[in-house]
Structure 1
Amino acid sequence: MENREIGGSGKRCRRRCLLLCAFAVIVIIIAVVVGLVLHKGTQDFKTIFLQRCKEFKDNNCERIWDGFEKAYVNQNSCNVPMEAYDPLLAVAPFKSSNKTMFWSKTKDVVHSFTEKRDCFLTLEDTLLGSVLDGLTWCGKEGSHETLTTGCPGWTQCENNTVRSFWGRVSAAFADIATGNVTVMLNGSIITPFSSDSIFGSIEVKRFDSKRVKNLNILLVMQKNAVTNCTNDSLKELQMVLDKGIKYNCKEVAESQIEECMSQPEKPCESCW
């Protein structure tokens, strides 16, 4: 009886050891797979970044990538302030422009227009704006990888990686605006100007009357337009605008803008 009990105990011990070994192997495999996936995510993201960057000639894209990556790698993804992207802007600064176009809640129509007509420059038409448009990225403490999933959403935390980037480059883009500045706002919503938007909270506040002479509002009107240039939110815009900058608002049918896209011989100013 004693021998059988000892033998049974030994078998149970061996089974436990085999189970523990099998579990350890599974954990190692999962860790390796996760590591490979994270590395592949970084490589895929970097490939997209560099491919888009190289569409803009005469730029050191590897250097720009290094400046970009330093802003968020090994950082809490909710603790990346706007200033973290200052080194990136140092290696890829914006150039002064007198044909800047801003937008709020009109992204599709604005970019359809600038894609077909070379009259205006939006942030997304610049190197940094074009490279990162539509992408999500973040880092995490203790890692030098670039993550593309599991990143905090725009409203989840104020200093998240993506939100801080767009806030910082938006401020820099507004700083290089000169002369006549144009912004397309949405005439199909009750408040076309929102102080919470990037345009309202950052860009318009950076317009300096020493550089910017006129702010031209294009209120894009669809068939379901619910407002016009007398809207109260636009009066709020005038109040926060730097004194000395002339304000002008014009209601423009979206169909009129679309028609003008297909007429390259037509001066852009006559589109509205």
Structure 2
Amino acid sequence: MEEEGQRPKLRKRRVRPIIRIIFGIIVVILVIVVIVVLALALRRTSEHEAFKAVFTSRCKAYEGGYDCERTWNAFEQAYVGKDPCMVPPDSYQALMDATPFKPACNRMMFWSKTKNVVHDFTSKRECFITIEDTFLGSLLDGLTWCGKEGSKDTFTSDCPGWTSCVNNTVRSFWNKASASYAEVACGNVSVMLNGSIATPFHPASIFASIEMKNFNPVIMNSLNVVLVTQEKKVSNCSSQSLKDLQKVLDKGIAYSCKEVPESQIQECASQSKTCGSCW
């Protein structure tokens, strides 16, 4: 009888260690959850602060005495707290109004499929200015950013890619900026196109679908196409693609085209810092 009376006590002794183990597991899980939440919060903060630091440093480095905090606030209004796929180009109108593009008559250069060539050239010769050389363009060239619903932060990871959705944060900025830059194009304007592809003037490109549609013949005299070629030419100034360009170009804007080897552009850019024609 004494042994039977002791059995319940033995069971209690066995149950208590199990309860302690379960409690310990729950505590470990809660600690892990807290660590993950804090890590995500710190990551969001670090992404936001790092992006703003790059934005601000670029702003301060650009000549012109721009108000960097005012520019940042206008920029944030476009996308912060929004679905990153629901930011149409007009969301950046306040930014364009706060820091409008300045006309640079006879020096404005556009491009399509020639980014490396044109920027290597403009970095060595100050004869021409691309959108990436302007204040707004220089602030955001090569950067990725987006917002998230319910958040006041800027994110640089897990943002939709250029083709993921039509109204994604980055794509909408460049579409709006390209339209605004084209609107002030004046005098004799140039564009570098790629002569190594079959359609240097592609209807889906930003140049064809946005920039050309915003050229103003009242202030723009001519469009000079610089067709960058390699040893083996795929397209020339007589190609159908360039004929299509002439058809959609406003009749009030004169047109010219010249085939220029890429090696000639590189050589010219390296020879002198002074302005002058390399084609």
SS of the equivalent of 1:268 reads coil
Task: Quote how far apart the aligned CAs of 1:266 are.
Answer: 6.1
Aligned to 1:81: 88
1:53 aligned residue (48, 51, 59): 59
After TM superposition, the structure 1 = structure 2 runs for residues 16-165 of structure 1, keeping only pairs within 5 Å, are 16-57=22-63, 58-98=65-105, 99-165=107-173
**CA offsets, 1:153-189, max 9 Å, x none?**
1001010010001001000100110111100000001
Per-residue deviation, 1:262: 2.2
Task: Return the alpha-carbon distance in structure 1 between the equivalents of residues 140 and 120 of structure 2.
Answer: 18
Contact 2:59/2:68, CA 8 A, preserved across alignment: yes
SS in 2 for 1:112: helix
Structure 2 unaligned blocks of 5 or more: 1-6
Q: Give the distance between the partners of 2:172 and 2:123, measured in 1 at CA.
A: 26
Say which one has the larger Rg. Answer: 2
Contact 1:260–1:266 under 8 Å retained in 2? no
CA contact (8 A) 1:103 1:183 kept: yes
* One-letter amino acid of the counterpart of residue 196, structure 2: S
Contact (CA 8 Å) 2:79, 2:147: kept in 1 or not? Answer: yes
Letter in 2 for 1:50: T
Q: Which letter maps to 2:187?
A: G
8 Å CA contact retained: 2:126, 2:273: no
Structure 1: runs of 5+ lacking an equivalent: none
Name the SS for the 1:115 alignment partner: helix
The reply on whether 1:225 has 2:218 as its aligned counterpart is no
Residue correspondences, number = 271
In 2, are the aligned partners of 1:171 and 1:206 still within 8 Å (CA)? yes
How far 1:243 sits from its partner (Å)?
A: 2.0
Counterpart residue type for residue 166 of structure 1: W
Match of 2:261 among 253, 258, 261: 253
8 Å contact kept, 1:182–1:218: yes
Identity rate of aligned residues, in percent?
51
Q: Could you list the per-position Cα deviations for residues 221-250 of structure 1 after superposition, in whole angstroms to 9, with x for gaps in the alignment?
A: 112321101111111111211121111111
Question: What is the aligned partner in structure 1 of residue 196 from structure 2?
Answer: 188
Aligned-residue offset at 1:16: 1.3
Q: Deviations over 1:3-53 (max 9, x none)?
A: 222332333222212211110111001111111111111111111111111
Q: Are the counterparts in 1 of residues 162 and 170 from structure 2 also a CA contact under 8 Å?
A: yes
What CA deviation, in whole Å up to 9, does each residue of 1:179-236 have, x standing for no partner?
A: 1110000000111011111111100110121121101101001123211011111111
Q: Distance in 2 between matches of 1:3 and 1:120?
A: 91
2:228–2:259 Cα contact (<8 Å) kept: yes
- Match among 223, 230, 245 for residue 237 of structure 1: 245
The separation in 2 between residues aligned to 1:47 and 1:7, in whole angstroms, is 60
What secondary structure is seen at the aligned counterpart in 1 of 2:250? coil
Letter in 2 for 1:239: K
Q: Secondary structure at the match of 2:224?
A: strand
RMSD: 1.3
* CA distance in structure 2 between the partners assigned to 1:7 and 1:83 by the alignment: 70
Q: Distance in 1 between matches of 2:10 and 2:99?
A: 77
